[in-house]
Amino acid sequence: MIAQTLQSLPQVLVDGVTLGAVYATVAIGYTMVYGILELINFAHGEIFMSGAFIGTAILLVLNGAGWLAHLPKLLVLLLTLLVAMALTGLLGMGIERVAYRPLRHAPRLIPLISAIGVSFVLQDVVRFIAEWRTGNYIVTGVTLYGSEVNFGSITVKSNALFVLGAAVVMMAGLDLFVRKTKWGTAMRAVAQDKDTAALMSINVNRVIALTFFMGSALGGATGVLFAQQYGTIDPYIGFILGLKAFTAAVLGGIGNIRGAMFGGFVLGILEMFASAELGPLTGGVLGAEYKDVFAFIILIAVLLFKPEGLFGQAVKEKV
Amino acid sequence: MKDRMPRLRARLRQPRTQAMLLAAYTALSAAGLAFGGLSILWFLLLLVSLLLLYYSDLPRMVKWVWAGVVVAVLLPVCASNGSSYESFMEVATQMGIFVAMALGLNVVVGFAGLLDLGFIAFFALGAYTYAIFFSDQANHFIAGHHFPLSGDLFWLCLPVGLFVAALFGVLLGLPVLRVKGDYLAIVTLGFGEIIRIIFNNLDKPVNITNGAIGISSVQAPRFFGISLSFPHQFYYLVLVLLAIVLYAVQRLEHSRVGRAWKAVREDEIAAQAMGVPLVRTKLVAFAVGASFSGLMGVVFAAKQAFIDPTSFTMLESITILVMVILGGMGSLPGVVVGACLVTLLNIQLMPELTNWLNTLTTAGVINFPSALSPSKMQRLIFGIILILFAVFRPQGMIPAKTRRYDDAVLSRLAAEWRETAGGARRDGAHPAVPGYTSGHAAGQEGAKEGASL
């Protein structure tokens, strides 16, 4: 049995890293917002979902107009990504403006409630646009890079390389941005102490809006890549994926951007491993359908034994 | 005109006048329900009479008896006149179930300030507890042919379902309640989904829940040899349970633990400093809320005689949350009203609106795309309600009232206490100053409302 597991391990790793890249980029959105506002942005999973739908819609329209065959694929993918990022980024900013900013001084419970509200509204708006235009809310998009490449016993969708590449580029870019630029410094200052940052002539509201824009744009771009990778999307994909990305953020230490990246990859690999090996390892008692449960158990375990995450610092609450 | 207003007002304040007006209003709406068309409208008006009753200055016993007569006698009798008696009772039963669940969630969210987004999981636990053992499902994994259990044992299953749900509430709460509050929301959200996935897949290796197919032909409960199967029978069952839940919640709210919940909600650190055991207080809230949900789950399974995992999705959890937020967190009348309104919206108003739009579409009057049909728009409507209430009216339609204590009364009580106790240190004499702890616990809120303490 171990031999069998070992044999399938490379494939599991490749699939896991691809999925992990998705989790990691979505987890960054959670972690950035949490780091700066101490708020779990429940709507972030839905922003990811909106990104997937925007990207799919753009490709479907291009395809319908017959342009897709004439344009270079890479250009189309990049354009789609950019448009989806801009739109989801603006969406994230809008959500912050409408549902979170008025509640910045409200009791902690209240913004969570409006966040739930936002995510429900987004699910339904996307649902009825999709259902209205295509007749079904489950949409199958156009896959640009659908071909599969074989390396020995491993099969890789060529799109997976784009997922990984884009994820790495975005993460590296974000990391540089946060550490090296003026705006990034402002972001870190606001995360540390809003009032003091404001005294240092940082426009706190603008920094928070920018944070939402960037986190959401990353989520949206990941959505586009996700739709490319897995083909079929529906308005409810954001919920469970958001939950797992959040788990990844907690695993890496919430508020810590690099931690979120690491947590995403760990979770992706663990989950792929679970879905491939849970059946054989337990003699068929537990199947792949428990992979969602698996992620949840990781969340509980982290909260139990290391609530500050792998890279986070334990914060003492001061009165 | 001007000098008559105060006299009118004074008269309105008299309990007797209030009772007469209330009786007239109740009679009118009951008559409307019995003889008029548009039964739902009259039904609502009759329910409003209960709200008015709540606000009246009648003695508490009178209120309870009055409300009991209205819901147990007047409502069914008046509704029985119409042709749709049973469907009417069905709506009322559903309403009762949801009111009880919303009251349970209110303990968690409203009193203790913990956001539970997977509340339906406990409902599912209760429902499956009943369904598995009161159908032949349990024969799949317990040897011998003992199942289904007789419907007479339903009454025993009620506390069992309650206990199972409470147990899971504690089990879930133990790891989570130790860490910061926000995690609770997302963990409960996950838990709700996980319970559904587990029930959905637990048909192998041992068939416990029959997976996605669900469990059918669940035994009807029996009451002294009468098998309960009609909606109006369940209506009375739910009514009795609801009365118990309502009474329990009301007593809990002002009890020691209830005050501790509110203290934790307002400020965890301050509460801890005042000697409130943080984790235990939260766990109790979690367990109490879950247990109501489990209790109603048992009733739900018995009523439906069929359950499958689709009844326990996240949408249901959020529906109950909407009831609490809409009505007012921590406010019992608010939560009851919120639950009634949302249930009506869900199972009466939206389907009817959809039907109406569909008939218009088929008649060719308008072309209404089915994607936009109101019964599919629950998420949108609930989402908008949540955002609007969170931003503009977080205290809900009927805000919770903090008990206030009159300075004069308090100082008089304190003086009496000093006299009787003679300044001797007797801890047992504390009850003589009943207001003190409560007023303090609700400090922040009380100050906001200009309490006199």
Distance from CA of A9 to the nearest CA of B (A): 26
Closest residue by Cα to residue B99 from B400, B364, B336: B336
pLDDT reported for residue A49 = 95
Residue numbers in B near A285 (CB within 8 A):
205
Q: Please state the ipTM of this predicted complex.
A: 0.90
Name the band, by pLDDT with cuts 50, 70 and 90, for residue A154.
Answer: confident
Render chain A in DSSP notation, one character per residue.
Answer: -HHHHHHHHHHHHHHHHHHHHHHHHHHHHHHHHHHHH----TTHHHHHHHHHHHHHHHHHHHHHHT-TTTS-HHHHHHHHHHHHHHHHHHHHHHHIIIIIGGGTTS-THHHHHHHHHHHHHHHHHHHHHHHHHHSSSSEE---SS--EEEETTEEEEHHHHHHHHHHHHHHHHHHHHHHHSHHHHHHHHHHH-HHHHHHTT--HHHHHHHHHHHHHHHHHHHHHHHHHHH-EE-TTHHHHHHHHHHHHHHHH-TT-HHHHHHHHHHHHHHHHHHHHHHHHHTTTSS-GGGHHHHHHHHHHHHHHH-TTTTTPPPPPP--
B212 sits in which H/E element: none
pLDDT reported for residue A293 = 82
Residue type, B377: M
Rounded to whole angstroms, the Cα distance separating B338 from B344 reads 10
Of the given ranges (B18-32, B293-307, B435-449), which has the lowest mean pLDDT?
Answer: B435-449
Closest residue by Cα to residue B325 from B117, B126, B162, B184: B117
In this predicted structure, the answer to whether residue B448 has a pLDDT above a threshold of 60 is no
First to last CA, chain A: 55
Indicate yes or no: CB of B269 within 8 angstroms of CB of A113. no
Enumerate residues 6+ apart whose C-beta is below 8 A from A274.
Answer: A288, A290, A291, A294
Is A294's Cβ below 8 Å from some Cβ in B?
no
Name the band, by pLDDT with cuts 50, 70 and 90, for residue B107.
Answer: very high
Q: Which tokens go with B143?
A: 């040897």
Closest residue by Cα to residue A58 from A302, A298, A264, A221: A221
pLDDT reported for residue A68 = 78
Residue numbers in B near A38 (CB within 8 A):
182
> SS3 of B331, please?
coil
Nearest-Å Rg of the Cα atoms of chain B is: 24
Residue numbers in A near B388 (CB within 8 A):
117
Mean pLDDT of chain B: 82
Residue numbers in B near A108 (CB within 8 A):
181-182
Find the mean pLDDT for residues B232-254: 91
> Which is more confident, B202 or A286?
B202
> Which is more confident, B428 or A184?
A184
What is the CATH topology of the domain spanning A2-305? ABC transporter involved in vitamin B12 uptake, BtuC (1.10.3470)
In this predicted structure, the answer to whether residue A236 has a pLDDT above a threshold of 50 is yes
Mean pLDDT of chain A: 87
B/e letters for B314-332, b = 16+ CB within 10 Å, e = fewer, are bebbbbbbbbbbbbbbbbb
Indicate yes or no: CB of B197 within 8 angstroms of CB of A290. yes
- For A124-138, what is each residue's pLDDT tens digit? 999 988 888 887 888
Phi, psi for B307 (deg, rounded to 5): -135, 150
Helices B278-304 and B120-133 meet at what angle, rounded to 10? 50
Closest residue by Cα to residue B117 from B212, B179, B178, B195: B195
- Domains delineated in chain B: 1-83 (no CATH), 89-392 (1.10.3470), 407-448 (no CATH)
Q: Nearest CB to A128: which of B113, B180, B372?
A: B372
For A241, which residue in chain B has the nearest alpha carbon? B190
- For B355-380, what is each residue's pLDDT tens digit? 888 888 888 777 777 777 777 888 89
**Strands of B285-326, DSSP E:** none
In this predicted structure, the answer to whether residue B337 has a pLDDT above a threshold of 60 is yes
In this predicted structure, the answer to whether residue B284 has a pLDDT above a threshold of 90 is yes
First to last CA, chain B: 37
Closest residue by Cα to residue B193 from B298, B119, B126: B119
Enumerate residues 6+ apart whose C-beta is below 8 A from B71.
Answer: B50, B239
Rounded to whole angstroms, the Cα distance separating B392 from B385 reads 10
Rounded to whole angstroms, the Cα distance separating B356 from B349 reads 10
Rounded to whole angstroms, the Cα distance separating B208 from B307 reads 13
Indicate yes or no: CB of A40 within 8 angstroms of CB of B185. yes
Name the band, by pLDDT with cuts 50, 70 and 90, for residue B3.
Answer: low
- For A1-56, what is each residue's pLDDT tens digit? 677 777 778 888 888 999 999 999 999 989 888 888 888 888 999 999 999 999 99
Q: Which tokens go with A134?
A: 């295509």
pLDDT reported for residue B446 = 37
Residue numbers in A near B200 (CB within 8 A):
289
Rounded to whole angstroms, the Cα distance separating A88 from A126 reads 13
Q: Nearest CB to B383: which of A111, A121, A289?
A: A121
Could you tell me the residue ranges of all domains in chain A? 2-305
In this predicted structure, the answer to whether residue B444 has a pLDDT above a threshold of 50 is no
pLDDT reported for residue B392 = 92
Rounded to whole angstroms, the Cα distance separating B436 from B266 reads 17
pLDDT reported for residue B82 = 63
DSSP B144: S
Rounded to whole angstroms, the Cα distance separating A14 from A154 reads 8
Torsion of CA A200, A204, A210, A214, to 10 degrees: 90
In this predicted structure, the answer to whether residue B445 has a pLDDT above a threshold of 70 is no
Residues of chain A with pLDDT > 90, as a percent, come to 40
Rounded to whole angstroms, the Cα distance separating B11 from A312 reads 65
Closest residue by Cα to residue B305 from B195, B382, B225, B231: B231
In this predicted structure, the answer to whether residue B449 has a pLDDT above a threshold of 50 is no
Is A13's Cβ below 8 Å from some Cβ in B?
no
In this predicted structure, the answer to whether residue B127 has a pLDDT above a threshold of 90 is yes
**Phi/psi class of residue B448: alpha, beta or left (left: φ > 0; alpha: ψ in -120 to 50)?**
alpha
Find the mean pLDDT for residues B121-133: 92
Indicate yes or no: CB of A113 within 8 angstroms of CB of B386. yes
> Which is more confident, B328 or B138?
B328
pLDDT reported for residue A24 = 93
Q: What is the 3-state secondary structure (H, E, C) of A135-202?
A: CCCCEECCCCCCCEEEECCEEEEHHHHHHHHHHHHHHHHHHHHHHHCHHHHHHHHHHHCHHHHHHCCC
Residue type, A267: L
Residue numbers in B near A236 (CB within 8 A):
none
> SS3 of B307, please?
strand
Restricting to A residues 17-76, those with a Cβ less than 8 Å away from any Cβ of B are 38-40, 42
Q: Which tokens go with B75?
A: 């409502």
Query: Which of B177, B182, B196, B279 is most worth mutating to test chain A (most A CB atoms within 10 A of its CB)?
Result: B182
Rounded to whole angstroms, the Cα distance separating A87 from A95 reads 12
Enumerate residues 6+ apart whose C-beta is below 8 A from A230.
Answer: none
In this predicted structure, the answer to whether residue A147 has a pLDDT above a threshold of 50 is yes
- For A183-223, what is each residue's pLDDT tens digit? 999 999 998 888 999 999 999 999 999 999 999 999 999 99
**Cis before B205 (ω within 30):** yes
Residue numbers in B near A114 (CB within 8 A):
386-387, 390-391
- A104, B11, B21 from A97: Cα distances, Å: 11, 50, 48
In this predicted structure, the answer to whether residue B425 has a pLDDT above a threshold of 70 is no
